[in-house]
Structures are given as structure tokens and as C-alpha cells.
Structure 1
Amino acid sequence: MSDTAKPSKTVLIGAGRMGSALAAGWLKKGGAVTPENLLIVDPGRNEHCKALVSKHGLKRVPELGPRMAKDVSLVVLGVKPQKFDEVAPVLNDILPEDTAIVSVIAGISVRRLRTAFGDRPIVRAMPNTPASIGKGITVAIANDVPAAIKRRAEKLLKVGGPVEWITDERHMGAVTALSGSGPAYVFLLAETMAAAGFAEGLPRELAERLARETIIGAAALLAESPDSPADLRRAVTSPGGTTQAALDVLMTGLPDLMRNAISAAERQSRKLGNENGR
């Protein structure tokens, strides 16, 4: 049965913060999924899941049974990595052979997904946490997947922000290190800026607000400007001024620190992927 002929039933397995946020985006007016065609599979204990189900009147079940599975055309896997080996065999036994699998599980490779789900269409995606408010970016790989499935997957993923496609899964470790883990680097920057302001005598609350709003404003400027980050930096750096004095300190160590940090995250991503593939 073709993808266009079978019922367009979508199942979200794992409705935590990210899964619930993506589903909320799907359900917006004119969105990718209608409430009657979305099934939530989750114990329903977390507040994100409860709010999603209540707001949209969705059907939620703690586990997917054979009768419900027979009409499923696409599954979005959003469970924690340690739950994958528990969930995958059950799904493989009950899902139709042409059901598409879209995984947003960190560290589970396409090879691992193919081992679990056979010849079903597989898309692996790596969103980051700002995708939970529609401001993130997702990188996905969908080798040997029909174009219609790829388009449908992109429609689901892009509610979290832009979607970039890669063809070499070896890049996913670097993707995870840069954009997947990247928000934490920015949050750390906000922490350290606020702490430095406090150390210079500012009230803690004011220092935290200044750091937060400065980063928010700089990010908005970066988003709106056609200039590169380097050009924007140079534009606000007057020779011999206060910004130059600070950058003289930062430039002696920050580039190498960031390079080492992303390299460490990339190595850890590969390690976790190998462990999950055992």
C-alpha cells in the first residue's frame, strides 16, 4: 500500500518536553496533523504531556497495541535512549511494514534503527532544545527514503525551526556537538557574564537581567543582520575601547576552549552511539 493511499495516522511515542512541543506545533491551524489523526503513546505522568492532551482533546495510551498499530503510517520516536531497546522490538512486531520511522532519539544511529525496524523508511533527526519554542534547528538524515516520506518528515520537524539535511551520518556527531549541545554553551555564557557583572559590584538580579537581555538582543541582531558574526563583532569594537579590552582577553583563550569543548562533545556523541549500537 502506498504512503498516499493508507490512512495518515501519526503516532508520537514519548511526549516529554520536546515531543509535546513538536506535537503542539503539528496541531496548529493548518498544521501537519489533525487531532483525530494523532495518537500519543506515553505514560502521561509529565505535565507537558498532560497539557498537550487536555488542550487538544487527544487520545493517549500508555502503550501501542496491535489493533491501533495497523493504521499507523508514521511514528515519531521521542523516548529516552535507554528506553529504545525496550520499545523498538514491540513496535517492530506490530507496525505495518511500510510505516515510516522518524527518530529524534539522541545517539541512536540509522544502522541501529534499521536493525530494529528492518526495511521500513527511516529518518533520524537531531533537534535542539530551542525547537521546543519553534526557535531551534534540526539536522536530519534520510538516505534511501521515498521523497514523499522525506517531505512529510520535514513538515513535522520544521515546526521546531529550520531543517537541514545531511547525507553522511558521520557528521551527526559534530552536529550534536555544535547545535544539539550548543544552547548549553550560550546558557553558560549568560551565567558567567552575570557572575562577572556581580563581581564588579552590580546587584545580582541586575547583572543577571543585563546578561540575559544582552544575549537575547545580540541573537536577534544576528538573526536580522546580513552581516557575519565576525563583521558584527568588529562593528561594535572601537580600537582602544572597552570592548577591545575585553576581547583582547577573550581571544587569547576562547577560540581554543570552544574548539576543545566541541571536540569533546563530538567524541562523546560517537562513544554513546557505539554503546547504543551494541
Structure 2
Amino acid sequence: MASSSKIGFIGGGAMAEAIIAGLRKSDVIPAEAIYVSDHKAARTEELCKCYGIHACVGADTFLDDVTVLVLAVKPQAAQKAIAEVSGRLRCDALVLSIVAGLTLKEMERAFSGHPIVRIMPNTPLAVGAGMSVYSCGTHVTSPCREIVEQIFSSAGRVVEIKESAMDAVTGLSGSGPAFAFLMIDALASGGIAAGLPAKTARLLAAQTIFGAAKMVLETETHPEVLRDAVTSPAGTTIAGVRVMEQRGVRGALMDAVLAASARSEELGK
């Protein structure tokens, strides 16, 4: 980002904090160029103390000065927040929204002429391992895309898609961490049932899922190929895989993503 850039957040919740933490850790933008508005004074004090940024109740002190504005409020508070800030930004300000269900069309109607980007991050952003997917509005340029990539790659990976696929993204990477947590818990429970101490079982389960995911990402090898590499004939792994196939684990996970995607589409209507 340019040295003159200033970024403002409307909403100082967990996801906004995760983005700020990534920005500070990677030094994408200095602390003095980050501004946050939140309705809770205690929360603004906490953010100021933790990250050395500007945070206060209300956005009056920074709205007309920021080059990037991030809407990070809950969906039910979005319309009120938009009404309070639209029309008060500098004409070239880039507006980013991580508000679930808020479409580019709605945003462009509220922020006429501004470049608008809709983003779906997920909760592992909080530990620097997020998956963020974004869609661009009418006025978004290549430099705008570069800013989005810089901000969200500071706390994970980022990819651009068409907005029409956003419900599918919600079902997969948005809801996906919950599915992964369930699998980790189930694997750990299996370890406990087999005789492992609970703490050890959770460590083994979590690190195993983490390591498997890391192998897929870093080798860019299809998961089926990696699975076959550890599945010896008549061995322990194929015995476990056989049970998973019999119990419909693969189909259940596919259906979970489809159900979450369908629910996202319903909520957006």
C-alpha cells in the first residue's frame, strides 16, 4: 500500500481485529494509519492498547481522510452503518465489505462512484491462516485489487471470484472451519477411545489435520494421490478408510457444504 494510505474500520469485532493483527504483523501499513470506530468505548481502548492504532466511538475523526474503508459490522447493523458513513468519504476511497449477505449492488447504490469490493474471510484469519475470497464491483481497478490482496494476504490466502459464487464460498471456506473442528474433535475422541490421554489426542488430531492441509497446499497434489501414498495394501489406513466410506463420511461432508451454501443463498434474499 502507498505510504500515504490510511485505512478505517467500521466495527472493531473479532474479524476486524484479525485483519488489523495481520496488517501490523506484516507491517503492510503503520499503526498510526489505522483507524477503528466501534460503539463500545472499552473495545476501542483495548484495540488502542494492543495495536497502537487510533480507535474511538464514532468515525467522524477519520471518515473524510481514509483511502480504504472496511465495513466490518454484523449484518443486522449494516444498513445503519452505511447510512452514517456514505456520502462522507473522499471520492476515490476504496470500500471493502466483509458483511455477510451484503451484495455489490447494494453497496454500489449506497457508495455511488466508489470502487467496491465484497470479501468473505473465515475465522482462521485470527491466527494468520485465513482464506479470504473477494468479488469486485464496477469501478475496481488493478491497483484496488492489489490493495485487497495486500490486506488479506497478510493473514492468510486470498483469491478473486465472481460474486455469483459467493454462496458456494460461504458454504465451503466460510462454514468449513466448523466442519474441520468437528473432524478434529471426532478424531481426538477416537484416540481417547483407543487409550490416549485427552490432551495428547487433541494435539495429534489437530496437528494431523494441519499437516495434511499443508501438504495439499504446498505440494499442489490432489488429495486422493496423497491419500493413496499412505494407504498400504491390507494395512491400518485402508481399514479406517473403508469404515469412513461405509459410514458415508465423504457424502456427508459434500452435503454439509451444499446445505451451508443453500442456507447462505436463503439468507441473502
In structure 2, which of residues 10, 14, 20 is the aligned counterpart of residue 23 of structure 1?
Answer: 20
Structure-2 change in CA distance of 1:256 and 1:34 (3 Å): same
In structure 2, relative to structure 1, the CA distance for the partners of 1:171 and 1:241 (3 Å cut) is same
Q: 1:205 to 1:55 in 2, by over 3 A?
A: closer
Task: Pick one of 56, 59, 72 that aligns with 2:54.
Answer: 59
- Indicate yes or no: 2:242 matched with 1:256: no
Q: Provide, for residues 219-246 of structure 1, a one-character-per-residue CA deviation record: whole Å limited to 9, x for no partner.
A: 3333443432111100111121121111
Cα drift, residue 201 of structure 1: 3.9
Q: CA deviation at 1:10?
A: 1.4
Matches of residues 137-152 of structure 1 in structure 2 within 5 Å? 137-144=131-138, 145-152=140-147
Could you tell me which residue of structure 1 aligns to residue 8 of structure 2?
Answer: 11
Matched-pair contact (CA < 8 Å) for 2:130–2:155: yes
Give, in whole Å, the separation in 1 of the partners of 2:57 and 2:210: 39
Tell me which amino acid in the other structure corresponds to 1:218: A
1:34 maps to 2:30:
yes
Per the alignment, residue 191 of structure 1 pairs with: 185
Structure 2 equivalent of residue 160 of structure 1: 155
Structure 2 CA distance for partners of 1:38 and 1:208, relative to 1, 3 Å: closer
The 1:46/1:185 distance shift into structure 2, 3 A limit, reads: farther
Compared CA separation, residues 173 and 237, structure 1 to 2 (3 A): same
CA distance in 2, matches of 1:52, 1:157: 19
Residue segments in structure 2 that go unaligned for 5+ positions in a row? none
- Contact (CA 8 Å) 1:24, 1:52: kept in 2 or not? no
> Map of 1:214-253 to 2, 5 A cutoff?
214-252=208-246, 253=248
- Provide structure 1 residue ranges, at least 5 long, that are not aligned to the other structure: none
CA distance in 2, matches of 1:191, 1:21: 24
Summarize deviations over 1:24-69 as a string: whole Å, max 9, x none.
Answer: 222346x33222222111135676x65542144222111112x532
User: Following the alignment from structure 2 to structure 1, what is the Cα–Cα distance between the partners of residues 62 and 202?
Assistant: 49
2:30 aligned partner, one-letter code: T
Moved more, 143-152 or 231-240: 143-152
1:240–1:23 Cα change, 3 Å: same
- Contact 1:16 1:46 survives alignment (8 Å): no
Is the partner of 1:139 in helix, strand or coil? Answer: strand
For the 8 Å contact 2:122–2:173, the answer to whether it is kept is yes
Aligned twin of 2:166: 172
- The whole-number CA distance in structure 2 between the counterparts of 1:146 and 1:224 is 30
| Structure 1 position 192, deviation (Å) | 0.9
Distance 1:199 1:46, change over 3 A: farther
Aligned to 1:96, what secondary structure does the other structure show?
A: coil
Question: Quick check: 52-61 or 171-180, which moved more?
Answer: 52-61
Residue aligned with 1:27, SS: helix
Q: In 1, are the aligned partners of 2:11 and 2:71 still within 8 Å (CA)? A: yes
Matched, 1:84 2:78: yes
User: Counterparts of 2:201 and 2:260 in 1: how far apart (Å)?
Assistant: 29
Give the Cα separation in 2 of the matches to 1:238 and 1:218: 17
**Does the C-alpha gap of structure 1 residues 192 and 50 become closer, same or farther in structure 2, counting only changes over 3 Å?**
farther
* Aligned-partner Cα distance in 2 for 1:234–1:120: 50
Alignment RMSD (CA, Å)? 2.3
**What amino acid maps onto 2:34 in structure 1?**
L
Q: CA contact under 8 A between 2:45 and 2:56: conserved in structure 1?
A: no
- Equivalent position of 1:111 in the other structure: 105
Q: TM-score, normalising length from structure 1?
A: 0.87
The separation in 1 between residues aligned to 2:137 and 2:8, in whole angstroms, is 22
